[in-house]
């Protein structure tokens, strides 16, 4: 599954783990991407969408 929201283009981002001794190691932040069947205009499509866009009601999910 692609790690990109097709609505807001949210994708993988990078940062650091910081230990107690303040040693930094690389890490990744992954968005919560779900494959959902949604209605866009008058068509129904299966798209990859983040949960923030789903909760915000940016698209209508088909159950």
pTM for this prediction:
0.76
Q: Residue 54's pLDDT is what?
A: 93
Domains in the chain and their CATH numbers? 13-61 (2.30.170)
CA atoms within 13 A on the CB side of 14: 3
pLDDT tens for the chain, 63 residues long, are 578 999 999 999 999 999 999 999 999 999 999 999 999 889 999 999 999 999 999 999 998
């Amino acid at each position: 599954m692609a790690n990109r929201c097709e609505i807001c283009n949210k994708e993988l981002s990078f940062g650091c783990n910081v230990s107690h001794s303040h040693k930094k190691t690389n890490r990744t932040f992954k968005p919560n991407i779900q494959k959902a069947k949604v209605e866009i205009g008058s068509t129904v499509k299966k798209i990859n969408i983040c949960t923030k866009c789903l909760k915000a009601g940016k698209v209508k999910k088909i159950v």
